[in-house]
């Protein structure tokens, strides 16, 4: 009887403890949303404060962003376009490479695979200055293509697709060959659809990475109307600015596509994240 | 069925099983050559050069001699403190939370798990902006309200040396906690149940089970998580940029990558920036190897 009571007390305490930490973790996001309804002058004066005056809250920040802040929507569009290109191209190329490394037996296969693992370990920041110089030389500065180029064949994605493709049923390939299918037909019509779960997981990871990417676009994108959202928002973070109306409502709207993507593919995402990473 | 096309030589060649894999791998080879190998070699070459528009001079070790200056040491020490704190926080806290979230003691697990993951969906820029407002210098900003409730004086968070590092650490910890919890949860699901049953038979307490079963079983994932946190820590840039943009007073928030950005892009001294990059790569390489040896990852036969 006593043991049972103790256990219930423990349950309450543990749940409460984890609950408090969870609350602290999501508190910044809650306060972001709440603050987006506060006048921006308040934010300038008080920062985010615990005392909230609900009567002072209104939709002005959102009205402003939807009617006045045309540059914000340029950034939004750029982010959408760049993320979409990155997702499509990186899934296309990386799945092709990962698949080939998994199912074909060819000379150099192990060499290429080890190369993938090695590149995963080279931090991008080391390569960024020479790449930046290269982009200047080939005049890709301030272009979508320049912004996505280094992300097209992602070694992490190649690795992940290879791990997934190893489990594909190879007998299907022989059957398709007997039916006269080409190797390309086998990949696009039979194997790629079988890889759908891994494609979904990578779509989210690559989308998330690209949507929130900062340093490379910061170097490559120069003009205001070419900025992506993170860069555009960062330019508003000036010591003297009172852009909090765009900044705060804009930030809330920034998270929406990611939340939609996340809710939609949550199951694949978590599975993808864990299999992709732990075996690394 | 489709009518068979006449086998054409080129077509046959392109479809042979000896050629197809190389065509599939070609994008990777191409991107490796252009986007990894070339910049790596180029970066090393440029680190021995002074690079000005239309004028490149070989200057030997001058860039490297210049690196060892107070600003670099400041950036390096900031980065090292950041690495130490993020590794400690982002390994221990997510591990404890994952153990709780995996136990039968805690209710509403799915809700907690999803909520703890939410920060990972935001960008560092958005997160940093919220933290700037929470840790504002005003007495009314949340952080100052809380510490003054406990009797401390309001702080100027962004402009005091130790709180500057604290801000960067707390922002990174906040964003990555959920991801690391997922890694630990995945690993916990692979701990064989028999071990706990055996522990029960031997009358082990919850604490003993944690110490002698759970943590040793989690060792590989602890090493994985801490290693990527170390590597990512040395790459830190955004956390610093979002709090101080162009520069912090006395460089209290400067990171090594921030220094590369400042010299290589802002000052347009790509040669010098490349030299810092080479040094950073050596540091990351050295630290990771030492860490992996110290934690016994290279030892075979164990486990």
Residues whose CB falls within 8 Å of the CB of residue A214, separated by 6 or more in sequence, listed in order: A230, A231, A234, B123, B124, B125, B237, B238, B241
Decide if pLDDT at A280 tops 80.
no
Residue B74 CA neighbour count, 13 Å, CB half:
16
Tell me the per-residue pLDDT of B83-120, one tens digit each, with 9 for 90 and over.
999 999 999 999 999 999 998 888 888 899 889 999 99
B250 Cα to chain A: minimum distance (Å) = 17
Q: Is the Cβ–Cβ distance between A198 and A272 less than 8 Å? A: yes
Q: Which two tokens stand for residue B281?
A: 């790569």
Decide if pLDDT at B187 tops 80.
yes
Decide if pLDDT at A169 tops 90.
no
For residue B265, the 8-state DSSP code is: I
Decide if pLDDT at A246 tops 70.
yes
> What is the Cα–Cα distance from B260 to B274, expressed in whole angstroms?
7
For residue B1, the 8-state DSSP code is: -
A270 Cα to chain B: minimum distance (Å) = 7
Taking CA–CA distances from B257, the nearest residue in chain A reads: A125
> What is the Cα–Cα distance from A184 to A161, expressed in whole angstroms?
17
Choose the closest CB to A125 out of B106, B182, B260.
B260
Residues whose CB falls within 8 Å of the CB of residue B134, separated by 6 or more in sequence, listed in order: A28, A31, A47, A48, B141, B142, B143
Residues B206-227, mean pLDDT to the nearest whole number: 90
A44 touches chain B (CB under 8 A): no
Query: What pLDDT, on a 0 to 100 scale, did the predictor assign at position B7?
Result: 61
In three-state form (DSSP H/G/I as H, E/B as E, the rest C), the secondary structure along chain B is: CCCCCCCCHHHHHHCCCCCHHHHHHHHHHHHHHHHHHHHHHHHHHHCCEEEECCEEEECCCHHHHHHCCHHHHHHHHHHHHHHHHHHHHHHHHHHHHHHHHHCCCCCCHHHHHHHHHHHHHCCHHHHHHHHHHHCCCCCCCHHHHHHHHCCCCCCCHHHCHHHHHHHHHHHHHHHHHHHHHHHHHHHHCCCCHHHHHHHHHCCCCHHHHHHHHHHHHCHHHHHHHHHHHHHHHHCCCHHHHHHHCCCCHHHCCCCHHHHHHHHHHHCCCHHHHHHHHHHHHHHHHHHHHHHHHHCCCCCCCCC
Decide if pLDDT at B2 tops 60.
no
Taking CA–CA distances from B177, the nearest residue in chain A reads: A25
Choose the closest CB to B31 out of A104, A152, A187.
A152
Choose the closest CB to A43 out of B116, B133, B235.
B133
**Cβ neighbours, 10 Å, residue B114:** 16
Decide if pLDDT at A277 tops 50.
no
Token pair 């109306």 is found at: A245
- SS3 call for A156: helix
A window 58-87, beta carbon within 8 A of B: none
Decide if pLDDT at A279 tops 60.
no
- The model carries a pTM of 0.90
Which of B27, B224, B232, B258 is the best residue to mutate to test the A interface, defined by the most A CB atoms within 10 Å of its own CB?
Answer: B27
Tell me the per-residue pLDDT of B29-71, one tens digit each, with 9 for 90 and over.
999 999 999 999 999 999 999 988 778 889 989 999 999 999 9
Choose the closest CB to B31 out of A11, A14, A153.
A153
Query: What pLDDT, on a 0 to 100 scale, did the predictor assign at position B271?
Result: 93
> What is the Cα–Cα distance from B127 to B123, expressed in whole angstroms?
6
Query: What pLDDT, on a 0 to 100 scale, did the predictor assign at position B302?
Result: 46
Q: What percent of the residues of chain A are helix, what percent strand, and what percent coil, each to the nearest 5? A: 80, 0, 20
Residues A169-193, mean pLDDT to the nearest whole number: 89
Mean pLDDT of chain B: 89
Q: What's the complex ipTM?
A: 0.87
Does B138 sit within 8 Å of A97, measured CB to CB?
Answer: no
Q: Is the Cβ–Cβ distance between A71 and A97 less than 8 Å? A: no
Q: Report chain A residues whose CB lies below 8 A from the CB of B137.
A: 47
> What is the Cα–Cα distance from A27 to B41, expressed in whole angstroms?
46
Tell me the per-residue pLDDT of A104-162, one tens digit each, with 9 for 90 and over.
999 989 999 999 988 888 888 889 999 999 999 999 999 999 999 998 888 889 998 99
Strands B49-52 and B55-58: antiparallel
In percent, the amount of chain A with pLDDT more than 90 equals 48
Query: What pLDDT, on a 0 to 100 scale, did the predictor assign at position B119?
Result: 93
Tell me the per-residue pLDDT of A19-68, one tens digit each, with 9 for 90 and over.
999 999 999 999 999 989 988 888 877 888 877 777 888 898 999 999 98
Pick A100 or B295 by higher pLDDT: A100
Query: What pLDDT, on a 0 to 100 scale, did the predictor assign at position B1?
Result: 47
Q: Measure CA of the first residue to CA of the last residue in chain B; give whole Å.
A: 55
Decide if pLDDT at B6 tops 60.
no
> What is the Cα–Cα distance from B113 to B178, expressed in whole angstroms?
7
Tell me the per-residue pLDDT of B231-287, one tens digit each, with 9 for 90 and over.
999 999 999 999 998 788 899 999 999 999 999 999 999 999 999 999 999 999 999
A273 touches chain B (CB under 8 A): yes
> What is the Cα–Cα distance from A131 to A122, expressed in whole angstroms?
14
Buried b (16+ CB within 10 A) or exposed e, A234-271: bbbbeeeeebbbbbbbbbbbbbebbeebbeebeebbbb
Mean pLDDT of chain A: 87
Q: Report chain A residues whose CB lies below 8 A from the CB of B260.
A: 125, 128-129
Query: What pLDDT, on a 0 to 100 scale, did the predictor assign at position A270?
Result: 65
Choose the closest CB to A183 out of B15, B136, B185.
B15
Query: What pLDDT, on a 0 to 100 scale, did the predictor assign at position B60?
Result: 87
Taking CA–CA distances from A162, the nearest residue in chain B reads: B25
Pick A274 or A77 by higher pLDDT: A77
Decide if pLDDT at B78 tops 50.
yes
Which of B32, B35, B44, B175 is the best residue to mutate to test the A interface, defined by the most A CB atoms within 10 Å of its own CB?
Answer: B35
Taking CA–CA distances from A174, the nearest residue in chain B reads: B17
Instruction: Tell me which of A152-166, A262-276, B165-179 is least confident.
Output: A262-276
Q: Which two tokens stand for residue A101?
A: 């490394």
Q: Is the Cβ–Cβ distance between A40 and A248 less than 8 Å? A: yes
pLDDT band with cut points at 50, 70 and 90 for residue A232: very high
Query: What pLDDT, on a 0 to 100 scale, did the predictor assign at position A269?
Result: 67
Query: What pLDDT, on a 0 to 100 scale, did the predictor assign at position B300?
Result: 57
Query: What pLDDT, on a 0 to 100 scale, did the predictor assign at position B14?
Result: 80
pLDDT band with cut points at 50, 70 and 90 for residue A180: confident
Radius of gyration of chain B (CA): 25
Decide if pLDDT at B186 tops 80.
yes
């Amino acid at each position: 009887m006593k043991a049972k009571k103790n256990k219930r007390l423990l349950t309450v305490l543990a749940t409460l403890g984890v609950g408090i930490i969870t609350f602290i973790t999501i508190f910044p996001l809650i306060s972001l949303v709440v603050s987006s309804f506060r006048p921006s002058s308040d934010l300038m004066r008080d920062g985010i404060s615990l005392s909230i005056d609900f009567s002072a809250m209104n939709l002005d920040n959102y009205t402003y962003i939807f009617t006045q802040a045309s540059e914000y929507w340029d950034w939004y569009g750029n982010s959408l376009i760049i993320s979409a290109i990155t997702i499509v191209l990186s899934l296309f190329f990386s799945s092709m490479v990962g698949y080939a490394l998994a199912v074909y037996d060819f000379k150099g296969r192990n060499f290429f695979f080890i190369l993938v693992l090695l590149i995963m370990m080279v931090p991008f920041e080391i390569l960024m200055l020479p790449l930046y110089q290269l982009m200047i030389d080939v005049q890709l500065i301030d272009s979508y293509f320049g912004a996505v180029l280094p992300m097209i064949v992602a070694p992490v994605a190649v690795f992940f697709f290879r791990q997934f493709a190893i489990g594909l049923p190879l007998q299907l390939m022989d059957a398709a060959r007997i039916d006269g299918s080409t190797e390309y037909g086998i990949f696009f019509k039979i194997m790629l659809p079988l890889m759908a779960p891994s494609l979904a997981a990578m779509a989210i990871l690559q989308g998330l990475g690209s949507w929130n990417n900062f340093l490379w676009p910061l170097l490559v994108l120069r003009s205001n109307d070419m900025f992506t959202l993170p860069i555009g928002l960062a330019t508003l973070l000036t010591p003297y600015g009172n852009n909090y109306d765009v900044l705060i409502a804009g930030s809330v709207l920034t998270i929406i596509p990611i939340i939609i993507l996340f809710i939609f593919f949550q199951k694949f995402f978590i599975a993808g994240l864990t299999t992709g990473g732990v075996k690394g | 069925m489709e009518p068979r096309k006449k086998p054409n030589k080129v077509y046959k060649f392109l479809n042979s099983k000896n050629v197809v894999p190389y065509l599939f791998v070609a994008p990777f080879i191409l991107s490796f050559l252009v986007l990894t190998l070339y910049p790596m070699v180029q970066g090393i070459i440029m680190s021995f050069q002074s690079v000005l528009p239309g004028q490149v001079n070989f200057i030997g070790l001058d860039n490297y001699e210049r690196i060892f200056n107070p600003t670099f040491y400041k950036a390096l020490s900031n980065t090292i403190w950041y690495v130490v704190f993020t590794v400690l926080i982002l390994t221990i806290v997510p591990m404890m939370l994952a153990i709780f979230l995996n136990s039968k003691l805690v209710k509403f697990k799915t809700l907690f798990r999803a909520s703890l993951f939410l920060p990972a969906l935001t960008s560092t820029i958005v997160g940093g902006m919220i933290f700037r407002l929470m840790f504002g210098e005003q007495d009314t900003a949340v952080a100052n309200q809380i510490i003054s409730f406990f009797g401390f004086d309001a702080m100027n968070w962004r402009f005091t040396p130790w709180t500057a590092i604290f801000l960067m650490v707390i922002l990174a910890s906040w964003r990555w906690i959920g991801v690391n919890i997922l890694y630990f949860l995945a690993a916990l699901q692979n701990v064989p149940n028999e071990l706990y049953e055996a522990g029960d038979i031997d009358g082990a307490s919850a604490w003993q089970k944690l110490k002698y079963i759970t943590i040793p079983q989690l060792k590989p994932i602890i090493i994985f998580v801490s290693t990527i946190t170390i590597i990512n820590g040395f790459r830190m840039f955004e956390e610093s940029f979002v709090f101080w943009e162009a520069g912090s007073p006395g460089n209290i928030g400067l990171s090594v990558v921030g220094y590369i950005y400042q010299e290589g892009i802002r000052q347009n001294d790509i040669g010098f920036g490349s030299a810092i990059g080479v040094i950073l790569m050596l540091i990351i390489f050295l630290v990771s190897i030492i860490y992996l040896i110290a934690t016994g990852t290279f030892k075979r036969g164990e486990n």
